[in-house]
Amino acid sequence: MANRLAYGVVALAVTAMFAVPPAQAGKERIRSAVVAEKPVLVQQRIPQRDRRRDAVDPVPPADLSRVGPPQPNLPSEFIPIPDRWRLIENLGVNERWWDPYNQNTLKADRPLPGTEDYFINLLVLSDTVVEPRRLPTPISPNSSQKPSSNDVFGEGEQLFYLQNLVVSLSFLQGDTAYRPPDIEFRLTPVFNFTRAEVGERGVLRRDPSEGKVRNDVYVGIQEAFFDYHIRNVSRRFDFDSFRIGIQPFSSDFRGFLFQDNQLGFRLFGNRDNNLFQYNLGYFRRLEKDTNSGLNDFGEEIRKDEFFIANLYLQDLPRLGFVSQFTILHNRNDEDSEFFFNKNNFIERPASFGDERLHKYNVTYLGYNGDGRVGRAQLTTSFYYAFGTDSHSQLNGNLVDDDADIRAFFFAAEPSFDFDWLRVRGSFLYASGDSDPFDGKEEGFSAVFENPQFAGGDTSFWIRQGIPLIGGGGVQLTQRNGVLAELRSSKEHGQSNFNNPGIVLLGLGTDFDVTPETRISTNFNHLRFEDTSNLEVLRNQGEIEEEIGWDISAAVIWRPLFIQNIVLRLSGAMLIPGPGFKDLFATSQDGDDEILYSILANGTLTF
Amino acid sequence: MRWLKLATAGIAALALWGGSASAQVSQQALTVAEVQQIIAQAVGESQARSVAATIAVVDRVGNVLAVFQMTNAAGTLQVTSGRGIARTNGLEKVEDTFTNLGAGGSPTRKLGAIAKAITGAYLSSSGNAFTTRTANQIIQEHFNPGESFSPSGPLFGVQFSQLPCSDLSVRQATNGVPTGLVDATAGPKRSPLGLSADPGGLPLYKSGVVVGGVGIEINGTYTIDPQVTDVDSDVEEIVALAGQSGFAPPVDIRANRIFVEGKSLRYTDVDVNALRRNPANAQTFAAINGTAGNLVAVNGYAAAAVVAGTAYGNAESGFAQDPDGNYSNVGGVVFVLFNGNNPPTNRFPPRNSVNPTVANGGMTSSEVRQIIRSALNIAFASRAQIRRPLSSHVQVTISVVDGAGNILGMARTFDGPIFGTDVSLQKARTAAFFSSNTAGTYLGTFNSSVGGTPTNQNANGVTIGDYVTAVRRVLGNNALQDGTAFADRSGGNLSRPFLPDGIIGAQNGPFSYPIATWSPFNTGLQLDVVFDNLAAHILYTDVGGANNDTGASCTAFTADGGTQLTRIANGFQIFPGSVPIYRNGTVVGGVGVSGDGIDQDDMVSFLGLHNAGLILGTGVGNAEPSKRADQLVAPGGHLRYVSCPFKPFLGSRQNNVCDGK
């Protein structure tokens, strides 16, 4: 259960060029470091090396402060002068190692001394989270924190702290102005500290003797890859590249199916002046550290792999809209041994149904779209999942115990900008399983979701993991997840297609109150798609579908107008509806305490 | 589609409930011909597999209807958990203990078959069909077995119920020792080895109603299955399935559709597809009897004959509707226990406390009746955890005892599984016992002569008084003498091989053994105090003759619990479902509940007593919170007292209903 509290540092760091919306990818190089699921943009403009030799008329400078290009055929062309970086020093622009806003060798603005096209790029990022919250919390069955603990639901107040220090070091070779580097090595260790305080024993660690506070320190490697620029295929620098190692990857625009930093090999590139982009990838998942969510090298690599092929098409079906077609095949072979997490809770198989080991093959066919439609911005996602689960944990069959997976997912988020105000609507539908005993698994489950949707981690439901108390050692919903997947955890658990599905309808607003202050609000209504599985798991009839209202607001403040210092304070609460009360009412009169989640977050970036 | 589901569930519920009380408790029983058919089907499959089976068939209340032993099936039965535990550790390789004692004898395969058949019958009802494989899953040190760090099975210790020494159980025959009630058809009958966790015991159904159980012993090993995540092909289970053919439970109530803590229970690991011979084509019983094997007699249980079963609900079965109106208007039909007399009478109508006497604060009969009534009210209103269809109410047995363990009253909802009859009494007695300020002293009165000369050790050489030392080492020197209220959940916390429960590497609870020697056949104090009774009974069933059966009062403690009874005359129980009854700060008895989920059992006892106390206003009720065992701190934190279930009541969203009480 404690892993439910584990903080997922997810999708850390530098978004791969084509894992971000290509609308950005094709333009200036933007390094987006995503820590704590929240993007921090670090812009660095890499100086252009001007080798143009053809004599053309000088273009009138658009920027009057710019140093104009040398005139053709002037004697200075033939006189050795310092390179452009030293040249600029003559103009009084000197490097200060701590200043990322001006030319800085540590930020790959200048080549390494003595070289022309070898660069290093250093990123240091501190991420601090303080998170008070109230969640349904079970009283440990074997020993309690307090006397007179006579029931199942205990003290729900919790406090969570996190400190991450991300250090990312890249070594690049190549002309980095117009095209990806020729070669890049990158290593990103993350130093993590977490502290969790809860109201009951046996929640953070299985052993109630360990009490109700847990401190943990971990160092994980979130990036370690080699990137090689194979070739250019056109004058416009359309290219083919490959990248091998632990790398960030997102299956779609919003992280619905997979968004993580995982071990893989990826061939990618573009064609036709960047109108087409493609990815061909193979990933084999690393085990995660339970409490930090970082990659764990102390464990064997998981027997879980996926192949992905996708194609981005710009301006389809209309100008300004990008369509992406995906096929992802996930093969899980984790049917040979039990796996317990660091806190001694079982993860694989999940403590769910008959708890027998099983494996699955599932293929996701997806369409994703992102872009502009008239005045509106629109993101859409559709997935159809099909495959086979080697053993249904619910249907109880002894012969023909395998199950067909048939599930689908749809999400759309249109938004409209009115000056400094953005209004967005969110709709999400994940199918639920309608009959736990029929040998079909119809609940949609992702590989590793990290949804940036409907308010993302500002929203209570997406931010918090809620244990399915009384229904097994699984989570009703995962931390940083929108699906009600009923899996043991996102970090360690297998996908689970026996789940109630989810339907979300939301309305959100972003107010850019001042250039450095944004206020966001989200109103999401949630319901299960089908509660049959929940009813069986808890041996409880008549669980209603309505989960309730998830209401949240966030203030984001960038005191210096820059992305290097970002402070955020958000608050969310879940006003439970009948279905949620059927599961978690914590009072004698059948009502619920309001569940809340407060998030104070500061990121400092160099 | 949801409306369709609801409608279907509604129709199913209507069908079960019917229009009247009699329809709720449809009376069904096996005929002689049906018992013969079951045996012949099992023999046919055994022949197809070239194995020699011992086959027992019992009815729902535990009457042994036949024991059939195929040629070459006779032999000894080795009791072993397979954990490599040496002899003299509980029942592990108990035949070696007999040798050590100079007594010739051993458990026989007949006993294994009977215990399995009784388990299939006793754990099941019209709402749940459980097997010995189900039992195996819920009695081990982790639930599920093999899931390290997970707390123990919810019915941890239930294997040592229905003991042959139980004062509650009805006996088939007398044997010159104090026997309690003797009757040919009334139950609940005892089981020679308690309940079985060895696959090969299945329930038998007719028209959705339990009519008995079939038990198969083939390999001569009476064991457990420590690994439930694999899929076994167990020949005893396969042969039992053949025997059960035609009497199988409805698919929808089988254990594999019933979920506890989100985990489905095991029914069998094979289904009828595994059979090598179609049971429908089995030979007639006449064709196999005397050729493939023979009916055999078992001392204390059966003659070498086939008899018909007795219908549960008919007073002859020992269970029928309350005839006296003691439990009218409590929310449903109430059954009580009957003796075999004619006309049959309620064995345990509410009566005044014996010890302490009413004059000394003991409960009056009307207080007893109100406690049982209030508990029944809770049961009928509560969500069952182990029954289908969903939204069924709880079905349990409720027992009330006085401070010395005398039965003051018993009643049950109409379809409670039979095992809960004996177990509810064990739980009530256990709570009353450990809450007594003389509990520590009393444990020192153990004095057994099974091993020869009277001694404070049992035949395995365990000094019972040492448990007092052990528990005081954990809880302090006032333990078991300061009147702290121990619910069975609290005592259970101390009776696991790990304290805290389930945590690998933790020390054993003081009433248990270290994991190196612990097994479901060596549970600690619970077994050690009845081991000599079991040993005597096993020798009696095997050898008979000079070996007297065990008396109808378990343990070798001083019999101060009434006429020739010890305070724990049917043995301790160590899983939750009871609370002690207090008046003015002093324990005066206990109320025990068994038959549904353990949280439900807890709630029915705790809230039932609480509500009765409010109604009575006579000072009777739960112990003051400050006197309860959950004030005590053991490794891991506070002991638990009760744990009332999530979503406890049907048609209500109330939760945490025991909070503050």
pLDDT in tens, B453-472: 888 999 999 999 999 999 99
Does residue B640 contact residue A144 with C-beta atoms inside 8 Å? yes
pLDDT at B15: 40
Quick check: A207 and B500 CB within 8 A?
yes
Contacts of A346 in chain B (CB under 8 A): 147-150
Q: Cis omega (within 30 of 0) on the bond before A451? A: no
B134, B173, B256, B569, B576 from B119: Cα distances, Å: 10, 21, 17, 21, 20
Cross-chain CB nearest to B262 (options A150, A151, A473): A473
> Cα dihedral sign for B411, B414, B416, B417?
positive
Instruction: With CB atoms and an 8 Å threshold, state whether A346 touches B147.
Output: yes
- Chain A contact present for B4, CB below 8 A: no
Q: Give the A window 534-573 contacts with B, CB below 8 Å.
A: 535-542
Please return the burial class of B571, using the count of CB atoms within 10 Å of its CB with bins 0-12, 13-18 and 19+: buried
The reply to whether residue B231 touches residue A468, judged by beta carbons under 8 angstroms, is no
Chain B residues touching residue A585 (CB < 8 angstroms): 647, 653-655
pLDDT tens for B543-572 read 776 778 898 999 999 888 666 789 999 999
Return the residue in B228, B390, B596, B609 with the most chain A beta carbons within 10 A, the one to mutate for interface testing: B390
Query: Using 50, 70 and 90 to split pLDDT, how confident is the model at B505?
Result: very high
pTM: 0.91
Task: Please identify which residue in the block is written with the tokens 């093959």.
Answer: A361
User: With a CB-CB cutoff of 8 Å, which residues 119-148 of chain B face chain A?
Assistant: 144, 146-148
Please tell me the predicted confidence (pLDDT) of residue A62: 53
Among the partner residues A209, A394, A471, nearest to B500 by beta-carbon distance: A209
Q: Do A340 and B148 touch (CB under 8 A)?
A: yes
**Rg of the Cα trace of chain A?**
26
Percent of chain B, pLDDT > 90?
85
Cα–chain-centroid distance for residue B275?
30
Residue B49, pLDDT > 60, answer yes
Please tell me the distance from the alpha carbon of residue B444 to that of residue A422, in angstroms, as a whole number. 79
Q: Does A586 touch chain B (CB under 8 A)?
A: yes
Residues facing A183 on adjacent strands: A173, A228
Q: Check B655 against A536: CB less than 8 A apart.
A: no
Residue B644 above 70 pLDDT? yes
∠ CA B384-B386-B391, rounded to 5°: 40
Quick check: A409 and A362 in contact, CB under 8 A?
A: no
Q: Three-state DSSP class for A416?
A: strand
- Shortest Cα distance, chain B CAs vs residue A336, angstroms: 10
Phi, psi of A163 (to 5 degrees): -135, 120
Angle between helix B235-244 and helix B32-48 axes, rounded to 10 deg = 140
Token readout for B273 is: 């597809």
Q: Are strands A475-477 and A30-35 parallel, antiparallel or unpaired?
A: unpaired
B647 touches chain A (CB under 8 A): yes
* CA separation for the pair B597, B299 (Å, rounded): 35
Residue A472 at interface with chain B, using a CB cutoff of 8 Å: yes
Cα B578 to Cα B603: distance, rounded to the nearest angstrom? 9
Contacting B residues, span 293-352, partner chain A, CB-CB under 8 Å: none
Q: Write the CA distances from A183 to A110, A171, A274, B300, integer angstroms.
A: 16, 8, 20, 86
Contacts of B625 in chain A (CB under 8 A): 147-148
> If we measure between CA atoms, which residue out of B407, B215, B210, B395 comes closest to residue B313?
B210
Q: What share of chain A is helix, strand, coil (3-state, %, to 5)?
A: 5, 45, 50
In Å, how far is B200's CA from the nearest CA of chain A?
17
Separation of alpha carbons A206 and A203, rounded Å: 6
Please give the Cα distance from A65 to B251 (Å, whole number).
Answer: 84
What residues in A contact B273, CB-CB < 8 Å?
398-399
Residue A46 confidence (pLDDT): 43
The answer to whether A532 faces chain B, any CB pair under 8 Å, is yes
B10 in reach of chain A (CB within 8 A)? no
Of A140, A396, A399, the CB nearest to B273: A399
pLDDT of residue B13: 42
* Chain B, window 476-515: residues with a beta carbon less than 8 angstroms from a chain A beta carbon: 493, 500-504, 506
Chain B positions touching A334 (Cβ under 8 A) are: none
Is the minimum CB–CB distance between B233 and chain A shorter than 8 Å?
no
B632: nearest CA in chain A?
Answer: A147
The alpha carbon dihedral of B563, B564, B570, B574 has a sign of: positive
Residue B32 has pLDDT above 90, yes or no: yes
The position carrying tokens 């009530």 is B428
At B389, the pLDDT band (50, 70, 90 cuts) reads: very high
**Cα–Cα distance, B2 to B101 (Å, whole number):** 65
Per-residue confidence (pLDDT) for residue B337, from 0 to 100:
97
Provide the CB-side half-sphere exposure for B633 (13 A, CA). 6
State the Cα–Cα distance between residues B163 and B339, nearest whole angstrom.
Answer: 19
- What are the structure tokens assigned to B23, written together? 């329809």
Which parts of chain A have pLDDT scores under 70? 1-87, 176-179
Which of 84-103 (A) contact B at CB < 8 A? none
What angle separates helix B94-101 from helix B531-542, to the nearest 10 degrees? 80
Rounded CA gap, B88 and B221, in Å? 17
Which 386-445 residues of chain B touch chain A by CB within 8 A? 386-391
SS3 annotation, B584-633: CCEEEEEEEEECCCHHHHHHHHHHHHHHHHHHHCCCEECCCHHHEHHHCE
Q: Tell me B383's DSSP state.
A: B
Residue type, B436: S
Q: Kindly tell me the burial class for residue A117, based on how many C-beta atoms sit within 10 Å of its own C-beta (0-12, 13-18, 19 or more).
A: middle
Q: Which residue of B has its CA nearest to A207?
A: B503
Mean pLDDT of all residues in B479-492 = 97
B232 touches chain A (CB under 8 A): no
Q: Do A353 and B254 touch (CB under 8 A)?
A: no
Please indicate whether, in this complex, the C-beta atoms of B268 and A398 are within 8 angstroms of each other: yes
Is B235 in contact with B241 (CB distance < 8 Å)?
no
Which single residue is written with the structure tokens 């953070």? A204
Q: What is the pLDDT of residues B159-211, one digit of tens each?
A: 999 999 999 999 987 666 667 889 999 999 999 999 999 999 999 999 999 99
Strand partners, B514: none
Contacts of A472 in chain B (CB under 8 A): 259, 261-263
Chain A residue numbers touching B635 (CB-CB < 8 A): 209
> Do residues B546 and B104 lie in contact, with contact meaning Cβ atoms separated by under 8 Å?
no
Are the C-beta atoms of A290 and A6 separated by less than 8 Å?
yes
A336 in contact with B, Cβ within 8 Å: no
| For testing contact with chain B, the best of A137, A148, A476 (most B CBs within 10 A) | A148
Interior angle at CA A575, CA A570 and CA A576, nearest 5:
135
Query: Token pair of B629, please?
Result: 């065992």
Predicted ipTM > 0.90: yes
Mean pLDDT of B403-415: 97
For residue B331, give the amino acid letter: G
The answer to whether B123 and B387 have CB atoms below 8 angstroms apart is no
Contacts (Cβ under 8 Å, ≥6 apart) of A332: A303, A304, A359, A360, A361, A494, A495
Helix, strand, coil abundance in chain B, percent, nearest 5: 30, 15, 55
Best mutation target, B241, B260, B647, to test chain A (most A CBs within 10 A): B647
Q: How far is B607 from chain A (nearest CA, A)?
A: 11
Measured between beta carbons, the chain A residues lying within 8 angstroms of B657 are 151, 588
Look at residue B251 in the predicted model and tell me its pLDDT.
Answer: 96
Distances (CA, A) of A395 to A349, A441, A536, A592, B252: 16, 10, 11, 32, 11
Pairing, β B334-337 against β B397-402: unpaired
* Contact B225/A at CB under 8 A: no
B264: nearest CB among A143, A201, A396: A396
Q: Which tokens sit at A227?
A: 């990137």
Give the minimum alpha-carbon distance from B21 to chain A in angstroms, rounded to a whole number.
24
Which residue, among A1, A3, A142, would best test binding to B if mutated, counting the most B CBs under 10 Å from its CB? A142
Q: Looking at beta carbons, which residues of chain B come within 8 Å of A348?
A: none
| Cβ–Cβ pairs < 8 A, chains A and B | 231
